[in-house]
């Protein structure tokens, strides 16, 4: 019985563990459009410093508005196009299978492991992963590129 209880406790703690619990906050900020806050963003790394393509890393987005999944997907592809990021046609299809629509205070987290595998979490629950190591740098460029839509947010996320 004791073994069973320990195993159950381990499984429950892993199921409810934050995907960033072993990482250190690098920086945070909010994205606004006109008069509305869209989301609060937080960026994490292993040592609390921003270093491009040095994983593990995580980006957390806590939404301040309801946004349909289709709008999230469209905005992602438009940003890749605007930034000139090389992206693969299967990525939006994979994201469509993973992502839900978001509501106020929902949190979507991308965690990239040491091997470049990207895992998405929604309110601490694993949604699934994208194994392509080229995906994470392309996705993170939306927030961390020098040409991002909001340079002030980029500086904040990078700890500046």
Average pLDDT by stretches of 10, the chain with 160 residues: 48 63 97 87 97 96 97 97 96 97 98 97 97 97 96 96
> What is the reported pLDDT for 99?
97
Bridging pattern class, strands 24-33 and 36-45: antiparallel
pTM of the model: 0.87
Please, what's the b/e burial string for 22-56 (b: 16 or more CB within 10 A of its CB; e: otherwise)? ebeebbbbebeeeeeebbbbbbbbbeeebeeeebb
* Residue that the structure tokens 């990239």 belong to: 112
- Structural tokens at position 4: 């069973």
> What is the reported pLDDT for 33?
79
> What is the reported pLDDT for 17?
73
CATH of 19-157, one of 3.50.70.10, 3.90.420.10, 1.10.10.970, 3.40.50.300: 3.50.70.10
* DSSP structure class, residue 67: B
């Amino acid at each position: 019985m004791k073994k069973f209880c320990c195993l159950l406790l381990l499984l429950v703690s892993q199921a409810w563990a934050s995907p960033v619990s072993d990482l250190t906050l690098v920086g945070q900020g909010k994205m606004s459009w006109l008069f509305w806050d869209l989301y609060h963003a937080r960026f994490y790394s292993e040592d609390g410093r921003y270093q491009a393509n040095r994983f593990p890393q995580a980006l957390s987005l806590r939404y301040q508005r309801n946004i349909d999944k289709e709008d999230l997907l469209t905005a992602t592809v438009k940003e890749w196009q605007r930034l000139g990021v090389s992206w693969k046609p299967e990525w939006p299809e994979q994201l469509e299978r993973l992502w839900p629509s978001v509501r106020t205070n929902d949190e979507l987290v991308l965690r990239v492991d040491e091997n470049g595998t990207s895992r998405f979490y929604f309110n601490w629950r694993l949604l699934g992963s994208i194994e392509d190591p080229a995906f994470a740098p392309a996705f993170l460029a939306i927030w961390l590129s020098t040409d991002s839509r909001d340079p002030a947010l980029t500086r904040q996320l990078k700890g500046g």
